[in-house]
Amino acid sequence: MKKIIACFALLIMANSIYSQQNNSTATLTKKDYLQKSKNQKTAAWCFMGGGLVITTLGVTNNTSDNFNSGNNTGRVAGIVTGLVAITIGTTLLIASSKNKLKAESLSFRMEKVPLIQQKSLVSGSYPALSFRINF
C-alpha cells in the first residue's frame, strides 16, 4: 500500500512539473497601458518626423545630372523610405490611442435590476454610466 501511495505521489509531482501554467498571460495594469501608450506615441512622432525629413530630402534632391540621365534610384528610395516611416508612425499613433483607451474607458449600458411592482418581482432596467480603470 505504501508503494502505491508513493507511486501516485510521484506521478502527481511529475505531472505538475511538466504542466503548463494556467494563467500564462500576465494582465497589464493601468500604469502598464499608459506607459506603453506613451512609448508608442514617442516612437510614432520620431518615425513621422524622420519620414517627413527623408521624404522631403528625396523630393528636393534635384541634381541636374541625375534628373536628366534617368537614374533616380536615390530619390525614389528616399521618397519610399520616408513614406514607409510615416505609415509606421501613423500605425503606432493608432495603437497608442487604443492602449490609452484600454487603461481608462467610459461606457454607457443598460443595467438590469429586480423590482417589486404590485406584489410581484419584475425585471427592470436603468441607464448606467461606467468608468473602468484597470489596476
The DSSP call for residue 18 is H
34/104 Cα distance (integer angstroms): 9
Quote the distance between the C-alpha of residue 116 and its chain's center. 45
The highest-confidence range among 13-17, 19-23, 66-70, 123-127, by mean pLDDT, is: 123-127
Crossing angle of helices 30-60 and 73-103, in 10° steps, is: 160
Cell 514607409 maps to which residue?
A: 84
The full set of domain ranges for the chain reads: 26-103
Identify which of 122, 127, 40 has the alpha carbon closest to the alpha carbon of residue 89.
40
Give strand pairing partners of 105. Answer: 132
pLDDT digits (tens, 9 = 90+) for 42-72: 999 999 999 999 999 988 876 555 455 567 7
Strand partners, 132: 105
Query: What is the pLDDT, as a whole number, of residue 1?
Result: 84
Categorize the per-residue pLDDT at 125 as very low, low, confident or very high, splitting at 50, 70 and 90.
confident
Answer yes or no: is pLDDT of 98 > 60: yes
Q: In Å, what is the CA distance from 92 to each residue of 29, 67, 87?
A: 20, 35, 9
